[in-house]
Structure 1
């Protein structure tokens, strides 16, 4: 490695994060009805724009109206959850984008006539799936020159996969703390007790008003694993099994904005729950009509019942950087006034992790860094910031690996535990696959949002034969660990999607999977069932509700701190590198330098530092030296290879 290459390598590890903040404030007094019936406000703006022409289009006026309302402090968080709201109200939905669908056409602007008065008014189907003419209204279908079509994007979104129960509950509490918006369903509960005559009158009126026009040219909707299956987890097409998981079809109107698959957003929009949106199966004999049979499969899975998968017409959205409900504001720098409390959190976390790891302080340092890790740059085939940690020689007694996982899940907001058994590798779907018949993406276990921790338990591996599907799953897992990408199967080709999922591999002996850091667990206590129980119970006892909140916030804040290398530190690192290479070129490779820098970045952030100092660099060198001394009896191995003995 030349001096220029070394400087480039050092510079590549400097990262500056731009983190937007979400301010929290008190709720405004009063509850305006624009949230209860947003469609009414849209209609008023459309109609007014025709009678009073304005240089600003009605569509932009609608956007400005809702944008100004949502900018009011407290309004965003007091909007009700999508799951608890009647049709046509404004709601929030925090979700991961799982799939995207074809662009839809809708009637942006058209006219209807009142059959009693003859009055003609302008209406729109923006923010609607169905347009309901009044009891005595008709669509002026012969005015094709007056009809304006628009386009909207359609996405399939699911609840954030792997979100911890404490995080989900925290978001619910934050919503409940805001003043609730009166529900039209609650205000109308007395209607359920109306008499039979009133019911009959309502039904007659309903029949008259059922002249509705479907507004999208081609119905696009949710992906499901079975068009007829009754299992909600399957029909919702969730990456991970989740009894509380939700899904929605998101309709988006801003053509200038873009969404990335697997990113998490919080959407605000108008919910649509009309039962007529569901596609019904064809009742005739389709054995001879292959074209209809093919279309029906796509239609059924992409137009599910809104009661299962509602539609949400988005008015505004924002990117969700993390899933910690305790933090509404993020900073890339630890204020001087908070430095002491930040360091206390670090010490507390280290002590608690040391207990869980049976007294191994070095393992506690590496595990702490792993919990904070995130990718900060991809350059020249390198993925900088990934921290795949293999802790081996873990105890086999007392279900230690599962109990360790349960403990860690109290600290991190998104994770998934996978017992690596032959059965799991052969039968589970790890990577997404395209279903061309239904025109949807069937999700896989590795379709996860950023900063979702994968805990891979290799101690559960049993004897058996891997099928071709099992080998493909193992390969996908290896690619995720090595390159932080997952290849999605589109039948005729594979398309790589970038990921950022820190992987913790727990194994009895040497792992069959690649890793960045291998660490031999070295307990300071005699490993017995009693000592394991005592260590885990002691660690859990130290986690009071207040301490848990502090530690969760510490891990989230540390992950997003800015970090850079100063000129004097770069010079010192360069000198160390040259000296170590001169002593033995095989013992300190360019890959080792990258490992040192990644570890140095994370250790610096754990101390609340935005740059590397000599103290941390010295500590990192000592950590790596001790870690490698523990591996002295292990044969050398390619860090990005070696699956199933293939070196």
Structure 2
């Protein structure tokens, strides 16, 4: 049985051993045995910490062809490609033939017999994956700390440098590495599925962004701009990766968040192939032999030193990316879960006090901010997303305190949630930013936009930055896209010929002076109880007053509360219905079906915030009380700080 060093440092050795055994015994199920072998190894205690992460370890420190992991979002899905699953090589001196396995590889050994009857052509899918957009610094720090702690005690697939220097990820370290494979290896014979044929696993509306038409719109001209890593958010850093999937790719969707375990491929032969696609290269692609344009080849086959390949062996979907709470934590024993839930009420009180300080002493606004942060789209009824709770916090301090206040408030929230993005709604940003992803038919890829976010990302819209001026057509489209996220939790991706709707699950918080120009599920006008002379210093002291252990408690609490199950018994349902009828009798004009829905959402979130998984009559009464207080607050006249765009 392979040792730990073998299956992490040399996973291809495990694969080839099982492949060879299958040829001797005519075992057709060897591929399933490979995936089961690695799955069982990764289930061992702390085994996942033994595998180095592309998120935390610079690429040039990782051993080629070793097992690595990558926490990522599926940003795009390319067409399926064909590869040599099995092939024969011929020794030029002895003429001896050897059957070899081509799975989990990008390059083959030299001397391939292309006329061999034993050659097997197989198919695999390629996903373009990027780090989870907007991942908070504390998530990366904790994940990196786990890696550092492990490597301090054991040496696995990486050499720790003697300095703190972090080289650029564009450094092509392994192309000149003496330990790298010889340059006589060659890329596997690959080809993408024919453009006129639907790709494997492709269906309308399943989250697939593959080619929707066979020709590019006439307005798009072929060009070769510098290759970018296509991150959804501006200023993002980190590795992008081409993940090769060998089975069950129909089960993956665009924007899924995954932790991928696979075999790292950074062969210099791949970079040579990428260089050949440059228009200045002496290699001229024959249109009769290649259905792809030079631009498409350049984008789909970037240098491996810049965009490594990862051949997937095992993966798990991430319901969250909080490193303090393993994905299986909610499936632990009932006793362990009960102990955790028992502390939620006390942590809630501490977090509420912290939010009250951040919101200048406004306890009611702090209550609604807490409910907002644990909201989650848990189901959809036709086109209606259930569980969303967009919060418009108006009355935020105006300039000169305004920008400092909204920025510091975002910093405080970013310290608590795993993923967040602050969109400053200046006129320039609204008119210039690409919020909605768009299909580039020339390069056959999806150009990302700022609304291509992972589920449960906190989107902080700073409307206090929007000044008087004119929105151009792009700005109007961006405002419409934000409104669709708020109202319907969807983003309509632009495919030029048509739009394709993609569901989202984004927690939207709108900070504004007057009531927002965007719709919201809940509007709370801030009523400060304190007026600090120096707003930035006041909020800065509130941030630094929280210890790491206290912040970790808050982070765990928010993730746990969002993930809890929830139900309403028949008895409580009947009591709520009777109460609603009584409220309608007292004042039919003051309460509607929408008000009932809002009350049920607030009651649900109030229960979850206390660690309760079922609605009680007390929670219902509490929801009615705070909703009455919220509606009783006077709202300032005007919108958008008194100015219309």
TM-score (norm. length: structure 2): 0.84
Matched residue count: 583
Equivalents in 2 of 1:149, 1:30: separation in Å? 31
Equivalents in 2 of 1:289, 1:80: separation in Å? 41
**1:572 is matched with which residue?**
575
**2:84 is matched with which residue?**
107
Residues 425 and 466 of structure 1 are in contact (CA less than 8 Å); yes or no, is this contact kept in structure 2? yes
Matches within 5 A, 1:478-493: 478-493=483-498
1:35 alignment partner, SS class: helix
1:550 alignment partner, SS class: helix
2:516 matches 1:511 = yes
Q: Could you give the per-residue CA deviations for residues 557-615 of structure 1, whole angstroms, max 9, x where no partner exists?
A: 01111111122221221112111222333321111111111111111011111111122
Q: Structure 1 stretch 481-490 or stretch 325-334: which is displaced more?
A: 325-334
Report the CA distance shift for 1:330/1:594 in structure 2 as closer, same or farther (over 3 A): farther
**2:15 is matched with which residue?**
42
**1:22 is matched with which residue?**
none
2:396 alignment partner, SS class: coil
How far does residue 222 in structure 1 lie from its aligned partner after superposition?
A: 13
Residues 105 and 311 of structure 2 are in contact (CA less than 8 Å); yes or no, is this contact kept in structure 1? yes
Q: Structure 1 stretch 150-159 or stretch 115-124: which is displaced more?
A: 115-124
Residues 219 and 299 of structure 1 are in contact (CA less than 8 Å); yes or no, is this contact kept in structure 2? no
Residues 461 and 509 of structure 2 are in contact (CA less than 8 Å); yes or no, is this contact kept in structure 1? yes
1:212 aligned residue (177, 186, 190): 186
2:85 alignment partner, SS class: strand
Q: Which runs of 5+ in 1 are unaligned?
A: 1-28, 188-201, 638-643
Residues 420 and 460 of structure 1 are in contact (CA less than 8 Å); yes or no, is this contact kept in structure 2? yes
2:326 matches 1:331 = no
2:593 matches 1:590 = yes
Equivalents in 2 of 1:480, 1:121: separation in Å? 56
2:381 matches 1:383 = no
1:270 alignment partner, SS class: strand
Matches within 5 A, 1:112-261: 112-133=89-110, 138-143=111-116, 145-179=117-151, 180-183=154-157, 210-218=184-192, 235-255=228-248, 258-261=251-254
Q: Which runs of 5+ in 2 are unaligned?
A: 162-176, 195-208, 212-221
Equivalents in 1 of 2:17, 2:243: separation in Å? 24
How far does residue 264 in structure 1 lie from its aligned partner after superposition?
A: 0.6
**1:190 is matched with which residue?**
none
Equivalents in 2 of 1:416, 1:186: separation in Å? 32
Equivalents in 2 of 1:30, 1:130: separation in Å? 26
TM-score (norm. length: structure 1): 0.84
Equivalents in 2 of 1:89, 1:535: separation in Å? 49
Equivalents in 2 of 1:151, 1:311: separation in Å? 16
Equivalents in 2 of 1:86, 1:385: separation in Å? 45
1:349 aligned residue (345, 348, 351): 351
Equivalents in 1 of 2:224, 2:303: separation in Å? 12
How far does residue 464 in structure 1 lie from its aligned partner after superposition?
A: 1.7
How far does residue 44 in structure 1 lie from its aligned partner after superposition?
A: 2.3
Q: Structure 1 stretch 174-183 or stretch 315-324: which is displaced more?
A: 174-183
**2:265 is matched with which residue?**
272
Report the CA distance shift for 1:352/1:39 in structure 2 as closer, same or farther (over 3 A): same
Equivalents in 2 of 1:546, 1:614: separation in Å? 35
Residues 224 and 295 of structure 2 are in contact (CA less than 8 Å); yes or no, is this contact kept in structure 1? no
Residues 31 and 181 of structure 1 are in contact (CA less than 8 Å); yes or no, is this contact kept in structure 2? no
1:215 alignment partner, SS class: coil
Equivalents in 1 of 2:20, 2:447: separation in Å? 43
**1:32 is matched with which residue?**
5
Residues 186 and 269 of structure 2 are in contact (CA less than 8 Å); yes or no, is this contact kept in structure 1? no
**2:397 is matched with which residue?**
395
How far does residue 217 in structure 1 lie from its aligned partner after superposition?
A: 2.0
Equivalents in 2 of 1:554, 1:213: separation in Å? 49
**1:312 is matched with which residue?**
310
1:267 alignment partner, SS class: strand
Residues 342 and 611 of structure 2 are in contact (CA less than 8 Å); yes or no, is this contact kept in structure 1? no
**1:57 is matched with which residue?**
29
**2:255 is matched with which residue?**
262
Residues 353 and 539 of structure 1 are in contact (CA less than 8 Å); yes or no, is this contact kept in structure 2? no
1:460 aligned residue (460, 465, 468): 465
